[in-house]
Each structure stands twice: as C-alpha cells, then as structure tokens.
C-alpha cells in the first residue's frame, strides 16, 4: 500500500516552535504567569483544564479572561497531536490513532480494551510512540524499515495519552496502563521520555502508577540502568535471538551491546523485590524458533527474575520473514515452561489495520 512519507518533506511546515502545554511542569507554567504579573492560581486553572478536564482548546478555559487566553495561545500549543485519524479493529477493542504533528511527521498510538474476565478487571492499555520512525532498524519491524524521522517532544508523547484518556473518559472509562512499545526506541530519546514519565505519574498529571507503565527497549545497556534508577516503571527488553550471530542480524544494536553486555547490565539492575524484567521475543519461522533456541534462552536467562513474552511475528509488506506456525510457538513455550521460565504468548491485536506489534509504519493510503 502506498504511504505518506513519515519524515517531513520540503513542503511540510516547520516544527511549531511553541512548547506544548502538556509537556510543562506546574512550576514552569506558574513561572510564565508570574513573569506576566498574573497570579499563580492561573497556572492551576490551566493545569486543571489540561489534566483534569481534558479540554480540547484554550477557549474552553472560560475562567481565564479572553486576552489571557489569547496570550496563552500565542505562547504554547494546547494540543500537539490534534490532527488525529482513528481506525478500529477487533470489533472496536483496538483503536489505532494516526497523529500528524505540527511539522507533518506522522506517528501512531494504539489503544487496546480488555473486557473483565473472571477475576481480571477490565483494562484499557495505550501503546505510545517516542520517536517519529526509528533509527535502530530491526528488519522484522515496519517502523525500523521506515527509518528515523525525529525525536518526539515531551508534549507530543504525553498528548498521545491525553487523547486516549479523553476518549475513555467520555465513555465513562479510565486509562489503566501505558506501554512505550510504539514507534521508536524510548531510551534513545531519554530526556523527553523521562519527563513524560514524570508527568504521567505525577499527582497533578495523570497519576498513573509507575507499576502500570512499561518502557520497552532494544537494550541500550547504560540507559537501562539509568531508567531503573530514576523511575519506578517496568522494564521490557526485546531479545528476539538466542545467539549473538542471530541477534546481530535481527537487531543491529547487538553489535554495540552484545548479549553478554546486555544481560550483565540486567543482572546488575537494582530491581525492587518481586519485580521482574520482561523479555520480549518475536518468533520468526526458521530464524529463531528452534528447540535449540528455547534451550539456549533458558541458559542465557539463568539467575534473572524474568517473564518472557513470546510475540508471534506480525507480517507487513515486503517483510522477508514469516510467522512461526502455532504448533511451533506452543512447543517453544512448553520448553521454556518446563525449565521454570514463565513464558506467555502475546495476543495479537489489530493486524488488519496494521496496529499489531512491529507493524506501526504511520501508513495511510496516499491521496
């Protein structure tokens, strides 16, 4: 399917220089009002509209005088992902949002609804992007094939959450989980991602428990340690190979941080008790799904507190890989489980709208 280019083309507008409101901490906003001789409570009024009421424009903040609303509009972007197109799948249980940013960059987020089942409460999980495209270039991932556009700003990350939360609130529901597993490598855009995490977990922000947020990485070893030391979120590491030869081919980042370096860094993490690292493993037919791979994985992960998430490969045009047959996936899982590794198979969502893991390519039919 022909797609619109992800990176800004020469005719695309320049990035709007006004900072996004949702990327500011309360004291930064208060500082702006103080400089203008306005009382500090003005910052709270704006903050309440952004966080509490999920307003869609500054005009909705009727407690502010019109000239002040105009000044805010001139200084800040109220919503950085305002131009959004939604596509639904799985009977409405999966919603993919295609967001056009101020410079024309396209990114995607995916909201997945999980109805209550047995003792499990209903969940609403949002998968968000941290970069426009990705420079890591894993060949089994549509985002990697797309190449790198640019890092997202804090507000562009947070506003993906804000949009989903607004839709959920309107339906009387609540966002329960956020995963950084969309487009991009979050730890390659560390500063804005960390600030976004602070805003998402702050009482004045979305007050989402860090235990309900997961950051997924290909394993930039030094940044992994920093993330765990500086935030309380869950860590997911994409492994997808059981040898360095395999991983060099499937995840080029392995040439910089080979398996031994990555796994040693994981072993040294100051993980709180009862916390585990999730390892993700995309199963590719004939590439990394043999019995021998499962046995090697057991040895590699020995001594680590882990969960293993097996991800059936989700095809995309010209991928050059095929999904492992179901029987192979089950056999792979059985070997791991028999050796005491908790391995689950990730349920695939939104394949028909290219919303599944590894399929995000900001694709939209060309006009």
DSSP 151: E
- Identify whether 134 is a catalytic site residue: no
- Identify whether 230 is a catalytic site residue: no
Q: How far is the CB of 237 from ligand SF4 (least distance, A)?
A: 11
CA–CA dist 26, 198 (Å, integer): 12
Nearer of residues 33 and 140 to ligand SF4, judged by Cβ: 140
Q: How far is the CB of 229 from ligand SF4 (least distance, A)?
A: 22
Q: How far is the CB of 358 from ligand SF4 (least distance, A)?
A: 6
Residue 114 φ/ψ, nearest 5 degrees: -120, 105
SS3 per residue for 7-70:
CCCCCCCCCCCCCEHHHCCHHHHHHHHHHCCCCCHHHHHHHHHHHHCCCCCHHHCCCCCHHHHH
Alpha helices per DSSP H over 97-241: 142-146, 154-170, 190-201, 221-230
Instruction: Determine the Cα angle at 87 with ends 131 and 90, to 5°.
Output: 110
Nearer of residues 251 and 353 to ligand SF4, judged by Cβ: 251
CA–CA dist 272, 228 (Å, integer): 10
Inter-axis angle of helices 221-230 and 259-267, to 10 degrees?
20
Closest residue to ligand SF4, based on beta-carbon distance: 144
Pick the catalytic residue from 127, 138, 141, 357: 357
CB 99 within 8 A of CB 160: yes
Where along the sequence are the contacts to ligand SF4 (CB under 6 A)?
134, 136-138, 141, 143-144, 183-185, 218
Which of 307, 295, 209 lies closest to 266 in space, CA to CA?
307
Nearer of residues 165 and 311 to ligand SF4, judged by Cβ: 311
DSSP 354: T
Would the CA dihedral through 24, 28, 34, 40 be positive or negative?
Answer: positive
Nearer of residues 43 and 138 to ligand SF4, judged by Cβ: 138
Q: How far is the CB of 273 from ligand SF4 (least distance, A)?
A: 29
Which of 295, 280, 203, 279 lies closest to 243 in space, CA to CA?
295
Nearer of residues 140 and 206 to ligand SF4, judged by Cβ: 140
Q: How far is the CB of 281 from ligand SF4 (least distance, A)?
A: 12
Q: How far is the CB of 241 from ligand SF4 (least distance, A)?
A: 12
Pick the catalytic residue from 95, 108, 156, 280: 108
Nearer of residues 31 and 137 to ligand SF4, judged by Cβ: 137
Q: Catalytic residue positions?
A: 108, 357
């Amino acid at each position: 399917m022909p797609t619109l280019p992800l990176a800004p083309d020469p005719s695309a507008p320049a990035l709007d220089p006004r900072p996004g409101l949702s990327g500011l901490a309360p004291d930064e906003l208060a500082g702006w009002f103080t400089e203008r001789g306005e009382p500090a409570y003005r910052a709270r009024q704006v903050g309440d509209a952004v966080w509490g009421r999920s307003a869609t424009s500054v005009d909705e903040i009727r407690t502010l005088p019109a000239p002040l609303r105009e000044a805010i509009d001139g200084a800040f972007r109220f919503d950085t992902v305002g131009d959004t197109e939604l596509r639904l799948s799985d009977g409405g249980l999966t919603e993919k949002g295609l967001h056009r940013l101020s410079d024309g960059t396209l990114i995607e987020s995916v909201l997945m609804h999980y109805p209550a089942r047995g003792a499990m409460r209903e969940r609403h999980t949002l998968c968000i992007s941290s970069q426009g495209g990705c420079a890591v270039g894993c060949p089994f991932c549509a985002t990697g094939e797309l190449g790198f556009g640019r890092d997202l700003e804090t507000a562009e990350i947070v506003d993906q959450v804000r949009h989903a939360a607004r839709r959920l609130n309107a339906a009387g529901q609540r966002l329960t989980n956020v995963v950084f597993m969309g487009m991009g490598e979050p730890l390659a855009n560390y500063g804005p991602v960390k600030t976004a995490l602070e805003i998402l977990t702050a009482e004045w922000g979305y007050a989402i428990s860090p235990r309900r947020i997961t950051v997924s990485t290909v394993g930039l070893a030094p940044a992994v340690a920093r993330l765990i030391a500086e935030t309380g979120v869950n860590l997911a590491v994409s492994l997808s190979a059981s040898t360095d030869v395999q991983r060099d081919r499937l995840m080029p980042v392995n040439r910089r941080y080979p398996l031994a370096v990555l796994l040693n860094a994981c072993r040294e993490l100051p993980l709180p008790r009862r916390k585990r690292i999730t390892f993700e493993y995309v199963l590719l037919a004939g590439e990394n799904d043999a019995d021998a791979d499962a046995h090697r994985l057991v040895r590699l992960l020995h001594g680590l507190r882990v969960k293993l998430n097996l991800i059936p490969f989700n095809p995309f045009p010209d991928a050059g890989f095929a999904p492992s047959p179901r029987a192979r996936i089950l056999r792979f899982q059985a070997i791991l489980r028999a050796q005491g590794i908790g391995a689950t198979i990730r349920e695939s969502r939104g394949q028909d709208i290219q919303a599944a893991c590894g399929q995000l390519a900001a694709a939209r039919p060309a006009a």
